[in-house]
Amino acid sequence: MSTKKLWGGRFTAQAESWVDDFGASISFDQLMADEDITGSLAHVKMLKKTGILPADDCDKIIAGLEELASELHEGKLEFSTTNEDIHMNIESLLTEKIGPVAGKLHTARSRNDQVATDFHLYVKNRLPLVIEELTTLQETLVGLAEKNVKTIMPGYTHLQHAQPISYGHYLMAYYQMFKRDKERFEFSFKHTDVSPLGAAALAGTTFPIDREFTAKELGFADVYANSLDAVSDRDFALEFLSNASIMMMHLTRFCEEISMWVSQEFKYLELSDSFTTGSSIMPQKKNPDMAELIRGKSGRVYGDLMGLLTTMKSLPLAYNKDLQEDKEGVFDAVKTVLPCLKVFNGMIATAKPNVDRMKHATENDFSNATELADYLATKGVPFREAHGIVGQLVLKGIQEGQNLQDMPLEELKKASPKIEEDVYNELKSEVAVERRHSLGGTGFDQVQAQIDNAKAELKKAD
Ligand code: ARG
């Protein structure tokens, strides 16, 4: 049998301890201990200010909570399952410290608005950490891109050599994805930065509370307009998970490519030893474990999102105990995405591009075929016809083991008399890249412009 509950008044029998264990959340919601004490401090200050409680009672509670906060930071607080969750634990620790006056803290409040407040504060406090890691990664990418504007590599579609591109351009594509990720986290701040405190159980309270006061104390920009919504809304947590999932998806794409680029077949990149591992049996191995692990960890973040979406689905208003299941996924996602971003950043920052190998890959293929078709189109040949002519030359090249740039002029002229000596310059991969001046293209000037814009964006956000 378990001990008497703080809410045990109307009960004649007590649950078995294994049933209590099932209902308890203290094993995980103790991660919000700091937020819980902060929320309670704001609440009791409001009770004092409004005169709902006598000032000396409030002062005792405030002093007790402050002591608990210091003990928490010193790692001295111990929680117990008997007290179900973090809210009951803190209240019971407060009672041990200051006696029965602690029982006045819960005036005009319910655990329903209390837990929602804690959770909002928890997510709100973590958003800047994610945004900071994303900014660091963006800075790394811009720095690498700037060094590699003129590094030529194959650009792929369908994983087939398509057209040569600048490695800087490639890196800046990911910069753009992380920029949108950051913006999404910033957008979700608005919905997170709202105070549910004072919604009480679901309907508000008859006590003359001051919700704006507590919101301000807690640094919230706004208060929930509807008490039912306040205690049951978890959109802010879903937004966090959804943003985290999209961000992880971007990381998986990058990680997948890194794993390919370091393989024997590509060898475009060499990862630093500090971000790779060896094999216990094969002495030659250098595995891109970190890239694979980040790719793999996307699964749990998607799972966290799916878990909460499913928990929320069909939930009637207002609070239901189902909502206790809202936290672990978010905690897990926070614990996952922060190190993923940090490790990824270190890995890409120290990865060395094999410049010659990348360039060579663009010279031993037909990725300059579009250049030849464009060349003919510029000389008045309808593009469709030019496409056909070059297609024939490519076929011949494949059969005879010869690239377009290695075919003699008289051979090319047989395909089209419009082809002149100047074609050979345009068939060079760096020229193909350099000439793509269209806005947002891989032309060196365009890549540099992207980098300049990115630097200005990052500076402005500083
Ligand atoms: N541990 C609960 C949670 O995480 C706190 C709120 C409990 N409220 C209630 N009426 N049972 O959601």
Options 263, 272, 279, 437, the catalytic residue: 279
Domain 360-461 has CATH 2.60.40.10: no
pLDDT of residue 277: 87
Q: Structure tokens of 272?
A: 């630093």
Provide φ and ψ at 277, rounded to 5°.
-135, 165
pLDDT of residue 1: 47
HSE on the CB side for 243, CA within 13 Å?
Answer: 25
Distance separating alpha carbons of residues 337 and 290, to the nearest angstrom: 13
DSSP 364: S
Q: Which string of DSSP letters, residue by residue, matches 257-324?
A: HHHHHTSTTT--EE--GGG-B--SS-TT--B-HHHHHHHHHHHHHHHHHHHHHHHHTTPPSS--GGGG
Mean pLDDT, to the nearest integer, of 276-299? Answer: 92
Q: Which atom of ligand 1 is nearest to the CA of 84?
A: 1
DSSP 5: P
- Answer whether 352 contacts ligand 1 (Cβ < 6 A): no
The whole-model pTM stands at: 0.95
CATH match for 112-148+165-355 among 1.20.950.20, 1.20.200.10, 1.10.287.470, 3.30.1360.200 = 1.20.200.10
Residues 222-270: tens digit of each pLDDT:
999 999 999 999 999 999 999 999 999 999 999 999 999 999 999 999 9
pLDDT of residue 5: 79
- Is 279 a catalytic site residue? yes
Contacts of 190 (CB under 8 A, 6+ apart): 221
Burial class (CB in 10 A: 0-12, 13-18, 19+), 243: buried
Counting ligand 1 atoms within 8 A of each CB, the residue from 7, 28, 233, 321 with the most, and so the one to mutate, is 321
Percent composition of the chain: helix, strand, coil (DSSP 3-state, to 5): 65, 5, 30
Three-state secondary-structure class, residue 435: coil
Q: Which atom of ligand 1 is nearest to the CA of 85?
A: 1
State in Å: Cα 82 to ligand 1 middle: 14
- Answer whether 324 contacts ligand 1 (Cβ < 6 A): yes
- Answer whether 25 contacts ligand 1 (Cβ < 6 A): yes
pLDDT class of 285 with cuts at 50, 70, 90: confident
Distance separating alpha carbons of residues 54 and 58, to the nearest angstrom: 6
Residues 12-57: tens digit of each pLDDT:
888 888 999 999 999 999 999 999 999 999 999 999 999 999 999 9
Counting ligand 1 atoms within 8 A of each CB, the residue from 21, 111, 311 with the most, and so the one to mutate, is 111
- Answer whether 111 contacts ligand 1 (Cβ < 6 A): yes
Counting residues of the chain whose pLDDT is more than 90, the rounded percentage is 93
State in Å: Cα 35 to ligand 1 middle: 15
- Helix segments in 350-419, DSSP class H: 355-363, 369-378, 383-400, 409-415
Which protein residue has the closest C-alpha to ligand 1 atom 7?
Answer: 111
Q: Which atom of ligand 1 is nearest to the CA of 201?
A: 10
Q: Which atom of ligand 1 is nearest to the CA of 323?
A: 12
Query: Is 3 a residue whose pLDDT tops 70?
Result: no
Which residue, among 322, 47, 49, 328, has the nearest Cα to 197 in the 3D structure?
Answer: 47
Residues 90-141: tens digit of each pLDDT:
999 999 999 999 999 999 999 999 999 999 999 999 999 999 999 999 999 9
Q: Which atom of ligand 1 is nearest to the CA of 29?
A: 4
Do the first three CATH levels of 14-107 and 360-461 match, i.e. the same topology?
Answer: no
Q: Which atom of ligand 1 is nearest to the CA of 25?
A: 1
Strands 160-166 and 152-157: antiparallel
Distance separating alpha carbons of residues 83 and 99, to the nearest angstrom: 17
- The domains of the chain are located at 14-107, 112-148+165-355, 360-461
pLDDT class of 2 with cuts at 50, 70, 90: low
State in Å: Cα 324 to ligand 1 middle: 6
Q: 121-143: buried (b, 16+ CB within 10 Å) or exposed (e) per residue?
A: bbbbbbbeebbebbbebbbbbbe
Average pLDDT over the chain, rounded to whole? 96
Contact 387, 373 (CB under 8 A): yes
State in Å: Cα 112 to ligand 1 middle: 6
State in Å: Cα 81 to ligand 1 middle: 14
- Is 73 a catalytic site residue? no
Counting ligand 1 atoms within 8 A of each CB, the residue from 115, 232, 312, 327 with the most, and so the one to mutate, is 115
State in Å: Cα 339 to ligand 1 middle: 30
Q: Check the CA dihedral 218-220-221-222 and report its sign.
A: negative
Distance separating alpha carbons of residues 278 and 297, to the nearest angstrom: 20
Counting residues of the chain whose pLDDT is more than 70, the rounded percentage is 99
Give the number of other Cβ atoms within 10 Å of residue 11's Cβ: 10
Mean pLDDT, to the nearest integer, of 198-208? Answer: 98
Question: Is cis: bond before 318, omega within 30 of 0?
Answer: yes
Query: Is 387 a residue whose pLDDT tops 70?
Result: yes
Options 158, 274, 280, 438, the catalytic residue: 158
Which residue, among 11, 200, 220, 22, has the nearest Cα to 125 in the 3D structure?
Answer: 220
Q: CATH topology for 14-107?
A: Fumarase C; Chain B, domain 1 (1.10.275)
Query: Is 297 a residue whose pLDDT tops 80?
Result: yes
